[in-house]
Structure 1
């Protein structure tokens, strides 16, 4: 039986980009076999840090990238969301951030909001499949 290709979105606020990159580095072997997308600089910085990963670049969050991710979740075109928000800084597109979390909950897709939950999500997605 062929391995299922998962569709995973990677999103991080500026203050959390390094945390997302660190997580992607730790899981790059397992992530490499899946379709990844990410908002603006999140996608670019993950690809720069992990050249073996291809991450489809969407718009930046404030310019509609969060909405693009949310639309894919609503259309059942994503299987999981790894989103590292910065809880210590206000964001001008906070409504978009809240909508992204809300649609993830409504669509009942796995959602990781920090390194610990992202590691658990990755373990569930990849180790069970023998990819970790």
Structure 2
């Protein structure tokens, strides 16, 4: 499956720790990330990550384009709800696209835990059928 990894600055450490904790699961999938987040994950885990631009420079939109083409299956976007983001419209658009294309989205570690456990059990496999039907 194609998995996007995105984190606001104050949540990057949390996402890196999360990917480290579930490294073996993430290693079985194709990973995509925005610039700095992807670099930090690569350096910390040794996993291959396809890196886009940083979020404010268009990385969120690049991932959004994959969602719109039904090429993304799961998104982990650890958001910082307490800090204003200058690219908030891009963030909102990405979340909206996940809803439009039925792409599971975790915006925090709690939901991330549920989704990663579901991924491990095969609960997200329906995305393969959905993607093939709608592409």
Shared fold (TM-score, shorter chain, > 0.5): yes
Alignment of 1:1-132 (within 5 A): 6-51=1-46, 53-128=47-122
Q: Distance in 2 between matches of 1:35 and 1:128?
A: 16
Q: More helix per residue: 1 or 2?
A: 2
Q: How far apart are 1:126 and its partner, in Å?
A: 1.2
What is the root-mean-square deviation in Å for CA atoms of aligned residues? 1.0
Stretches of structure 1 lacking an aligned partner (at least 5 in a row): 1-5
TM-score normalised per structure 1: 0.91
Q: Distance in 2 between matches of 1:30 and 1:92?
A: 33
TM-score normalised per structure 2: 0.89
Stretches of structure 2 lacking an aligned partner (at least 5 in a row): 124-135
Q: How far apart are 1:33 and its partner, in Å?
A: 1.2
- The count of aligned residue pairs is 123
Q: Distance in 1 between matches of 2:22 and 2:9?
A: 21
